[in-house]
């Protein structure tokens, strides 16, 4: 098996940020610098955009980055880190994927913790340990690569305008975030996709039929809640 230990460093970037998060970014840059020039450049740009001057955040900077992370992936999310949900929504295919991934995680010794088996950082840690070369290549080509590509698309300006307009119909205010950093986690996803393209020779492709429209699914849920007189709630896809 060719070494895929760099996926451990990349996985850590999609874990919830803590005080030492800038050091995680530096470690990931070092892990990809020699082989993945495009990814390294994106990670360096991401690191420069962090509100930090060293390897750790101040309490105020940590609050800001945690808020942006939450806005990107959890509460009123731009997208979700549940790659199976991105691809299949609530379709039975996601259920099949979760069962299969759970088996593979157990075999590889990857702990899911409180997350479902399709949580992006957990899946990346599986890739670092998967011994079946054909299976990992098929998974990245058919599921993970297209999911990440779709997640990147959710950060686009047109989708952002649509999303903010939808949320304003259901919330008095949006979660505040720095204009310069509000979509900075897109660069992490783009760096990950650049690594996939090098490791698995991925080409840009149309998402397969049956993929989830994450923005549409949130809108439908908010409409239902409004009709029922319930307060709108967070949606994470997990």
Predicted pLDDT of residue 52: 85
Decide if pLDDT at 233 tops 90: no
| Crossing angle of helices 145-153 and 185-200, rounded to 10° | 150
Instruction: Please return the burial class of 139, using the count of CB atoms within 10 Å of its CB with bins 0-12, 13-18 and 19+.
Output: buried
In order of 94, 98, 158, 209, 235, the CA distances from 143 in angstroms are 11, 12, 25, 12, 21
Backbone angles phi, psi at 226, to 5 degrees: -65, -45
Decide if pLDDT at 9 tops 50: yes
Predicted pLDDT of residue 206: 52
Output the six-digit token pair for 134.
């054909």
Residue with tokens 């991925």: 202
Mean pLDDT of 65-81: 84
Residue with tokens 């360096």: 44
Question: What is the rounded distance in angstroms from the CA atom of residue 74 to the CA atom of residue 120?
Answer: 13
In order of 36, 82, 177, 203, 237, the CA distances from 116 in angstroms are 29, 8, 28, 28, 10
Predicted pLDDT of residue 53: 79
3-state secondary structure of 82: strand
The pLDDT tens digits for 75-98 are 666 789 999 999 999 899 999 999
Mean pLDDT of 40-47: 96
Predicted pLDDT of residue 202: 74
In order of 80, 145, 195, 198, 199, the CA distances from 202 in angstroms are 22, 8, 9, 7, 8
pTM of the model: 0.80
* Residue 173, Ramachandran bin (φ over 0: left; ψ between -120 and 50: alpha; else beta): beta
The pLDDT tens digits for 155-213 are 876 666 555 555 555 445 444 455 567 889 999 999 999 999 999 987 655 544 445 55
Decide if pLDDT at 115 tops 60: yes
Higher pLDDT, 30 or 220: 30
Output the six-digit token pair for 18.
């803590």
């Amino acid at each position: 098996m060719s070494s895929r230990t760099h996926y451990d460093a990349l996985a850590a970037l999609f874990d919830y940020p803590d005080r030492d998060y800038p050091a995680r970014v530096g470690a990931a840059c070092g892990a990809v610098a020699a082989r993945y020039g495009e990814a390294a450049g994106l990670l360096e740009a991401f690191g420069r955009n962090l509100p930090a001057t060293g390897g750790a955040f101040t309490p105020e900077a940590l609050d800001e980055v945690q808020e942006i992370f939450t806005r990107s992936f959890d509460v009123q999310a731009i997208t979700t880190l549940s790659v199976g949900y991105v691809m299949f929504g609530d379709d039975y295919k996601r259920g099949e994927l979760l069962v299969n991934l759970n088996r593979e995680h157990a075999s590889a010794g990857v702990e899911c913790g409180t997350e479902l088996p399709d949580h992006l950082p957990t899946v990346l840690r599986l890739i670092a340990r998967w011994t079946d070369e054909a299976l990992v290549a098929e998974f990245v080509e058919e599921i993970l690569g297209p999911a990440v590509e779709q997640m990147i698309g959710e950060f686009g300006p047109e989708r952002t305008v649509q999303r903010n307009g939808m949320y304003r119909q259901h919330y008095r205010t949006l979660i505040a975030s720095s204009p310069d950093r509000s979509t900075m986690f897109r660069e992490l996803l783009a760096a990950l996709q650049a690594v996939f393209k090098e490791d698995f020779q991925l080409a840009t492709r149309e998402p397969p039929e049956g993929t989830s429209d994450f923005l549409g699914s949130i809108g439908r849920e908010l409409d239902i809640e409004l009709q029922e007189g319930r307060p709108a709630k967070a949606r994470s896809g997990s």
